[in-house]
Amino acid sequence: MGGGSGNSSTLYRVIMSTDITLVSRQLFALVDVNNFYVSCERAFNPHLINRPVVVLSNNDGCAVARSNEVKALGVKMGMPWFQLKDLVRQHGIIALSSNYTLYGDMSDRVMTILRDFSPYVEVYSIDECFLGLQGLGKLWPTATDMGQSIRNRIYQWTSLPVCVGFGATKTLAKLANHIAKKQPEFNGVCDLAMMPSSQLDALLSAIEVGEVWGVGRRISQHLHAAGIHTVKTLRIRQPLGCVPDSA
Ligand SMILES: [Mg+2]
């Protein structure tokens, strides 16, 4: 499992997926609900807004969703309840049992709204969806305008906050969504496809390569060994020694 050529072809795919020049005519959006389970609970219980909230797994065994306030207190994803208990007492964290019927229903509502924005919809997870936007560019002054419209409509119709990332590949749209979520100055929408190269370079040089979709701990180790630590380096590095997949 995972022999040398397998690693090479995986690295090749990862490097090529961040090469904007190859696929510059394509555009994808990735819409992702922020802190999805917590946001669903807040939509029906406004007392939870601006308070530290954690949602627990099926059997109340561990944390499966955290509000930003809880993240700031150092609660990690998957933290078991027996470790959480003390923090809950100390900081007045509200711990909720999960309600997957509610989350499934809210997910359906979000995906239905997104189908108004593009006929090319790929539901990626319960709270994430790719939109293919080829040929739809003229409908909006800019992709950022479209992203803000998506954010506003989803919030007005469901009370759920989302971030939207745009990119020439799905990998770049994912990365753009990550940036939109982490950097408040983007106001929830980041368009990497139209970004001036100097701004793009500055952004990508500050993002660790492990944030790229599909780069797990093992591939990160290989990339680090090859001197690739940031997304910027990954994007400009020629895939020498890597073997493209024949498929
Ligand atoms: Mg999410």
Could you tell me the distance, in angstroms and rounded to a whole number, from the CA of residue 204 to the centre of ligand 1? 21
Query: What burial class does residue 207 get, using C-beta atoms within 10 Å of its C-beta: 0-12 exposed, 13-18 middle, 19+ buried?
Result: middle
Please report the pLDDT score of residue 6 as a whole number: 45
- In whole angstroms, what is the distance from residue 169 CA to residue 81 CA? 39
Please report the pLDDT score of residue 236 as a whole number: 82
Q: State pLDDT tens for residues 158-217.
A: 999 999 999 999 999 999 999 999 999 999 999 999 899 899 989 998 889 888 888 888
Q: State pLDDT tens for residues 25-50.
A: 689 999 999 999 999 999 999 999 99
Beta bridge partners of residue 66, listed in sequence order: 54
Q: How many CB atoms lie within 10 A of CB 166?
A: 27
Q: Has residue 229 got a pLDDT over 70?
A: yes
The helix-helix angle for 100-114 and 143-158 (nearest 10°) equals: 140
pLDDT band at 239 (very low <50, low <70, confident <90, very high): low
Structure tokens at 192: 């990497």
Please report the pLDDT score of residue 241 as a whole number: 54
Structure tokens at 56: 């627990």
Could you tell me the distance, in angstroms and rounded to a whole number, from the CA of residue 225 to the centre of ligand 1? 31
Q: Has residue 65 got a pLDDT over 50?
A: yes
HSE (side-chain half, CA atoms, 13 Å) at 115: 7
Measured between alpha carbons, how far is residue 98 from residues 38, 44, 102, 118, 198 in Å?
A: 9, 14, 9, 31, 44
For residues 66-78, average pLDDT? 94
- In whole angstroms, what is the distance from residue 110 CA to residue 21 CA? 32
Residue in this structure with the two tokens 């506003």, named with its chain if needed: 152
Q: Has residue 23 got a pLDDT over 80?
A: no
Please report the pLDDT score of residue 25 as a whole number: 67
For residues 92-108, average pLDDT? 97
**Who has greater pLDDT, 224 or 37?**
37
Could you tell me the distance, in angstroms and rounded to a whole number, from the CA of residue 179 to the centre of ligand 1? 13
State phi, psi for 63 to the nearest 5 degrees: -75, 125
Q: Has residue 20 got a pLDDT over 60?
A: no
Structure tokens at 70: 């809880």
Residue in this structure with the two tokens 């995986």, named with its chain if needed: 10
Q: Has residue 89 got a pLDDT over 50?
A: yes
240 Cβ contact list (under 8 Å, min separation 6): none
Could you tell me the distance, in angstroms and rounded to a whole number, from the CA of residue 244 to the centre of ligand 1? 31
**Who has greater pLDDT, 220 or 164?**
164
pTM: 0.83
Please report the pLDDT score of residue 191 as a whole number: 96
State phi, psi for 127 to the nearest 5 degrees: -130, 15
Nearest to 166 by CA among 135, 145, 139, 183: 145
- In whole angstroms, what is the distance from residue 219 CA to residue 10 CA? 8
Please report the pLDDT score of residue 3 as a whole number: 35
Q: Where do the domains of the chain lie, and which CATH numbers do they carry?
A: 4-35+102-236 (3.30.70.270), 36-100 (3.40.1170.60)
Structure tokens at 2: 């995972």
Q: Has residue 223 got a pLDDT over 60?
A: yes
Could you tell me the distance, in angstroms and rounded to a whole number, from the CA of residue 245 to the centre of ligand 1? 31
Could you tell me the distance, in angstroms and rounded to a whole number, from the CA of residue 238 to the centre of ligand 1? 32
Could you tell me the distance, in angstroms and rounded to a whole number, from the CA of residue 49 to the centre of ligand 1? 17
